[in-house]
Amino acid sequence: MAKLNLPVHKNQQLTGKVVDLTYQGNGVVKVDHYPIFIPNALSGEEISYVVTKTQRNFAWGRVVDWQTKSPDRVSLKDKRLLQTGIAPLGHLSYPAQLKFKQHQIAELVAKAHLNIEVLPTLGMDKPYHYRNKAQVPVKMVKGQLETGFYRRGSHHLVPIEDYYIQDPKLDQAIIVVRGLLRKFHVQPYDEQTGKGVIRTVMVRRGYYSHEMMVVLVTRTKHLPMKDEIVKGIVAGVPELKSLVQNINGARTNRLLGSTDHTLWGDPVIHDQLLGINFTISPRSFYQVNPQQTEKLYSKAIEAADLDGSQTVIDAYCGIGTISLAVAKHAKQVEGVEVVAEAVNDAKHNAKANGIHNAHFVTAKAEDQMAKWQQKGLKPDVLIVDPPRKGLDASLIEAAGKMAPQKVVYVSCNPATLVRDIQRWQVEGYHVAKPIQPVDMFPQTTHVESVTVLERTEK
């Protein structure tokens, strides 16, 4: 195999200026146009670094020292938050994080030669302690049961107690559970041998309701010292409403198995979003940052410009969070979602809130759109909130034939958003307003946004 002729080699120590920040939050230094990605380095900084890994098109490096530091750098009290990817932007000041996220979208829009304005990112007043759900792996580390987070790009567990971005009540509950698992010598699951009992601890807390759920994910149905553990969790977590054992016996990376046993309390907890009550089970998808979700969905509903006479389709409706909020302002809402449990939750949530003009169906969004189109359903507004892979081309095509006047696109991935905008243009749509980024996950590199597309008059 021919040896690569690269401008740097492994273990080489160099100095350079950081010229950019990647969408993953790594600094970029270039040697003869060859990029070296360096964690914990910010744009404009002059650094000494060592090359840790080389590949054909790029390398990785590690900061050894700083000659100059960015004015946007802030000190993060626990470096493990950067190492694990819990807070990959934790060393960047919050105003700079918001600009970074706006820039991410604006840069992709410009590269695609689209003339679309991107507004400043809507941020949080307190951009930490916001997550209402934690799911932490349990491992044996140096002979002791630990809870924590995996080091970036590995399955090496880093023990952590203060997660910085989570509701502190979740952190406290995890410590209580960890203490009981240690006390009663419950063995953590070992991926190598497939043995052990406890895999993951999941904790949820209602932002408005303050109801807490603890889920113990086990490999086996048998949980040693179960009664004592239950008693300890009930005593140690004052807001507890639901304690569930989820059994996942498969050798898989999937977090939850398909069997739940309620060990104490109720099988569900409740919370509110935009004044609507939601029932949350261990496997419910529910937004992890309710404060920002309310901002995001309010922007989407405002963008739809509803007056009570419209028919709205909500593709990727999940448990009905957007659909049920929109239903108050529309004539009828049709929701589609591929996950059957989520659709059941959506139907339950509609009934529980006395909302009768929202209907839900289990199907792939792209398949259902084609069916609705054949049946002659004529939506006025289409709302899409797809996963990171964006919209299927067939969905955009079916939607184009249905010809809704307006499409409200809630995106969690700027790259697929920009690709899909170009596809919508082919179907006769144009972006009618500036794109509005919303920071749903402060201290991380993720950015959500709301884009409004309107049908171009022909």
- Give the whole-angstrom CA distance, residue 123 versus residue 326: 23
> Which 3-state string (H, E, C) describes 124-185?
CCCCCCCECEEEEEEEEECCEEEEEEECCCCCCEEECCCCCCECHHHHHHHHHHHHHHHHCC
DSSP H or E stretch at residue 415: helix 414-426
End-to-end CA distance of the chain: 58
Tell which residue, 4, 1, 36, has the closest CA to residue 20.
36
**In whole angstroms, what is the distance from residue 293 CA to residue 315 CA?**
17
Cα separation, 379 vs 332, in Å, equals 9
Q: Which residues pair with 415 in a beta bridge?
A: none
Neighbours of 56 (CB within 10 A): 8
Q: Give the active site residues.
A: 412
DSSP codes, 227-239: HHHHHHHHHH-TT
